[in-house]
A = this chain, B = another copy of it.
């Protein structure tokens, strides 16, 4: 059916087209079904919504995502994508072939899969798992789509944390240490999805984070490193869509996780990668055995792709550092680069940087680079290159002025600080959208607390959000204080 495109200003996550009811009936398509669009030499897939009034017969309403479509468009019913058969096969717990995984990745890339089908894909890989072979094929397929970056340097260093630990702002300390040692480290980071702040959110307190690949080359050329938001470059379009399907379900299957991380590193041109795998109560990985298994799989897939992947299994049972939330974390980064800061954050950054040096075979000492001020100098060069103020000081950064103190209800020792609850309290307080929102932890695991002493302070930029966060702290045990002789954690 031949229709004429008309632009309709609606922003959806899917490539929506609006069809007049009678055109849709003629075509035989219903709401949310797919149509194939062909205009000139180009084609795209549209997801149908129906209207009587917004577009008239003979007209195709194209929404923002399809705003590049103009003029006459040939509209036909799109056949069901082949990858749906492969998703069904995986639901039947049958191992997928390389070309089947590659077809799934291409169909996700071309947005041929509806949300129901994407939900089935992430469910199938979660519940039935991906074999080592499948993980390797998936990683290669994902690296093959989207932009890729090629570098002239033979060594490109990189770092990734599988997350789940509040406050864990190691990256902005590690990147300038590594760059100051003369290595290139073009680091892209994510924004928070379910946490209080991602590295990109914390860096945005200090400088811009959205840059094109060409701009990233320029920043890295000048300073040796960068600290930018990965979402602004199209290195992993498939990964973004898969994560959007996994997030509401809070699932992150191992094979998919490895494929997501390493395909992105491959596309970014990285040669040596250190992967931080925090484990512990409440972390994404809860046991040492699982952490080791994941690390081995990362190593194997890395080998297969020709990347040197070093894994660091770290303590993930409690937050790293004392500040949680964009401003509070940025402040600790500045303090640590200046030679102070929380010791666990400092030591972790040094240790991971040394692992990278060892992997590359560079004779450098991370502690020395940090203590000599070279890392701070490089960090400030990166800030300047990313349009930030290179002379910013920790004291310039103010967390939200509305605060509430959460106090110990007994004398005892802090036996656990719950990462998920810390993140949730910070998010209720407004993080990461309100950069000043977050938590300051005054007592950490192993420290004594007397009844009535402040365990942590919640910061918010508005009274309302502070009240939300406070209400949550009253219902849950974010910081667990127990008498040293107490045997029970919980009575169920």
Interface residues of A, Cβ cutoff 8 Å to B: 8-13, 16, 18, 21, 28, 30-32, 49-54, 80, 84, 87-88, 91-93, 114-120, 122-124, 126-128, 244-245, 248-251, 433
Separation in Å of the A100 CB from the closest CB of chain B?
A: 15
Knowing A11-B50, A117-B248, A249-B117, the reply to whether A91 touches B126 (Cβ < 8 A) is yes
Are B249 and A88 in touch, CB under 8 angstroms? yes
Q: List 15 A-B pairs, Cβ < 8 Å.
A: A9-B53, A10-B54, A11-B21, A16-B49, A80-B248, A91-B123, A91-B127, A91-B249, A116-B116, A116-B244, A116-B245, A119-B123, A120-B122, A120-B249, A124-B127
Q: In the assembled complex, which residues on chain B have CB atoms less than 8 Å from the CB atom of A93?
A: 127
Closest 3 CB pairs between A and B?
A119-B119, A115-B115, A123-B123
Cβ-defined partner of A120 (8 Å) among B8, B16, B49, B120: B120
Smallest Cβ-Cβ distance to A93: which chain B residue? B127
Determine the distance from Cα of A12 to Cα of B10 in the docked complex, in whole angstroms: 13
Determine the distance from Cα of A92 to Cα of B249 in the docked complex, in whole angstroms: 12
Smallest Cβ-Cβ distance to A127: which chain B residue? B91
Are B116 and A250 in touch, CB under 8 angstroms? no
Apart from A8-B54, A11-B49, A11-B51: 17 A-B pairs, beta carbons within 8 A: A10-B50, A11-B50, A12-B32, A13-B30, A13-B31, A28-B433, A88-B250, A91-B127, A115-B115, A115-B116, A116-B122, A116-B245, A117-B249, A120-B249, A123-B124, A123-B127, A127-B128
Knowing A115-B119, A119-B120, A123-B123, the reply to whether A11 touches B28 (Cβ < 8 A) is no
Separation in Å of the A62 CB from the closest CB of chain B?
A: 14
Smallest Cβ-Cβ distance to A80: which chain B residue? B248
Q: In the assembled complex, which residues on chain B have CB atoms less than 8 Å from the CB atom of A244?
A: 116
Separation in Å of the A36 CB from the closest CB of chain B?
A: 15
Separation in Å of the A329 CB from the closest CB of chain B?
A: 20
Q: In the assembled complex, which residues on chain B have CB atoms less than 8 Å from the CB atom of A122?
A: 116, 120
Determine the distance from Cα of A103 to Cα of B454 in the docked complex, in whole angstroms: 39
Determine the distance from Cα of A12 to Cα of B120 in the docked complex, in whole angstroms: 21
Q: In the assembled complex, which residues on chain B have CB atoms less than 8 Å from the CB atom of A248?
A: 80, 84, 114, 116-117
Determine the distance from Cα of A253 to Cα of B4 in the docked complex, in whole angstroms: 42
Determine the distance from Cα of A11 to Cα of B50 in the docked complex, in whole angstroms: 5
Determine the distance from Cα of A30 to Cα of B193 in the docked complex, in whole angstroms: 12
Determine the distance from Cα of A441 to Cα of B150 in the docked complex, in whole angstroms: 61
Determine the distance from Cα of A12 to Cα of B50 in the docked complex, in whole angstroms: 6
Are B9 and A52 in touch, CB under 8 angstroms? yes
Q: In the assembled complex, which residues on chain B have CB atoms less than 8 Å from the CB atom of A31?
A: 11-13
Q: In the assembled complex, which residues on chain B have CB atoms less than 8 Å from the CB atom of A8?
A: 54
Q: In the assembled complex, which residues on chain B have CB atoms less than 8 Å from the CB atom of A124?
A: 123, 127
Determine the distance from Cα of A369 to Cα of B365 in the docked complex, in whole angstroms: 96
Separation in Å of the A299 CB from the closest CB of chain B?
A: 27
Q: In the assembled complex, which residues on chain B have CB atoms less than 8 Å from the CB atom of A21?
A: 11
Determine the distance from Cα of A387 to Cα of B358 in the docked complex, in whole angstroms: 84
Separation in Å of the A212 CB from the closest CB of chain B?
A: 23
Determine the distance from Cα of A80 to Cα of B31 in the docked complex, in whole angstroms: 25
